[in-house]
């Protein structure tokens, strides 16, 4: 089920969500998890993880925190992600 508000998002909002999703996918794959394996570890469904990774879902801070914790993402990687998003925002 695709969230109904995805198509109403501004192009740069879509870009930010896709960037976040791509990073989450890279972190998950680096740990060697498939979406099916990872979803229950983080406490989500596979379809939710798919929507996050494809940028179709604007996740809450708490859900992002669960994903970061479940993947044991280091602080430097999270900081780099936020800086990359900030830099892309300033380019626009």
Does 4 reside within a domain? no
List Cα–Cα distances, 83 to 72, 79, 89, in angstroms.
19, 6, 10
Is residue 5 situated within a structural domain? no
The answer to whether residue 59 is domain-embedded is: yes
- Residue 52 is part of a domain; what is its CATH number? 1.10.260.40
Q: What is the CA radius of gyration of the chain?
A: 13
Residue 1 placed within a domain: no
Name the CA dihedral angle for 61, 64, 70, 72, rounded to a multiple of 10 degrees.
-90
pLDDT tens track of the chain, all 92 residues?
445 465 667 888 898 999 999 999 999 999 999 999 999 999 999 999 999 999 999 999 999 999 999 999 999 999 998 888 888 766 65
pTM: 0.84
Residue 18: name the closest of 77, 48, 58, 45 by CA.
58
Query: How many structural domains are present in the chain?
Result: 1
């Amino acid at each position: 089920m695709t969230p109904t508000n995805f198509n109403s998002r501004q192009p740069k909002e879509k870009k930010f969500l896709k960037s976040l999703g791509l990073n989450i996918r890279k972190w998950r794959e680096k740990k060697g998890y498939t979406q099916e394996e990872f979803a229950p570890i983080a406490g989500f469904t596979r379809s939710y993880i798919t929507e996050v990774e494809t940028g179709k879902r604007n996740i809450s801070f708490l859900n992002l925190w669960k994903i970061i914790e479940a993947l044991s993402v280091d602080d430097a990687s999270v900081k780099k992600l936020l800086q990359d998003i900030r830099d892309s925002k300033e380019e626009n």
